Structure 1
Amino acid sequence: MPYNPILRLACGAILAALSVVSTGAHAQVYKCTVGGRAVFSDQPCAPDAKPINVRPATGASSASASASESDPRQINMSNNPQAVLSRLERERRVRETEHELRDIRDRIVNEQAEMDRELAALRLQKTRANNNLAGATWEKSISEEMSAVVARYDLRIRALQDDVRRLEGELSEMRR
Structure 2
Amino acid sequence: MKHGLAFAVLLAITTTASAQTQFYKCKDQWGQPVFSQRPCGENAQAGTITGPGRNGGPVSTSPAPTATAATTTAPSQEPNTWDKVEASRLLREAEREIDRREDRIEYLEAERDKKIAALRNKKRYANNNLAGATWEESISSEMQAINDQYQSKIDSELRKIDRLHERADRVSERL
TM-score range, shorter chain: 0.5 to 0.7
- Match of residue 91, structure 1, among 88, 111, 117: 88
Give runs of aligned pairs for residues 10-159 of structure 1, distance below 5 A: 76=47, 77-78=61-62, 79=75, 82-159=79-156
Following superposition, the deviation at residue 83 of structure 1 comes to: 2.3
Asked whether the 8 Å contact 1:75–1:83 carries over to 2, the reply is: no
Output the CA distance in 2 between the equivalents of 1:140 and 1:167: 41
Deviation per CA, 1:86-113: give whole Å up to 9, x if none.
1111111001000000000111111111
Which residue of structure 2 lines up, in the alignment, with residue 17 of structure 1?
none
Asked whether the 8 Å contact 1:122–1:142 carries over to 2, the reply is: yes
SS in 2 for 1:131: coil
Following superposition, the deviation at residue 81 of structure 1 comes to: 5.6
Following superposition, the deviation at residue 84 of structure 1 comes to: 2.0
Alignment gaps of 5+ in structure 2? 1-32, 36-44, 48-60, 63-74
Asked whether the 8 Å contact 1:75–1:84 carries over to 2, the reply is: no
Q: What amino acid is the match of 1:127?
A: R
Which residue of structure 2 lines up, in the alignment, with residue 165 of structure 1?
162
Output the CA distance in 1 between the equivalents of 2:85 and 2:168: 15
Task: Calculate the aligned-residue CA RMSD, in Å.
Answer: 2.4
Give the aligned length.
106
SS in 2 for 1:175: helix
Asked whether the 8 Å contact 2:91–2:168 carries over to 1, the reply is: yes
Asked whether the 8 Å contact 2:34–2:88 carries over to 1, the reply is: no
Q: What amino acid is the match of 2:137?
A: K
- Would the alpha carbon gap of residues 134 and 116 (structure 1) be closer, same or farther in structure 2, given more than 3 Å must change? same
Q: What amino acid is the match of 2:132?
A: G
Overall identity of the aligned pairs, in %: 38
Which residue of structure 2 lines up, in the alignment, with residue 24 of structure 1?
none
Following superposition, the deviation at residue 174 of structure 1 comes to: 0.7
Q: Which runs of 4+ in 1 moved over 6 A?
A: 71-75
Output the CA distance in 1 between the equivalents of 2:34 and 2:122: 61
Q: What amino acid is the match of 2:120?
A: R
Following superposition, the deviation at residue 82 of structure 1 comes to: 4.8
Q: What amino acid is the match of 2:159?
A: D
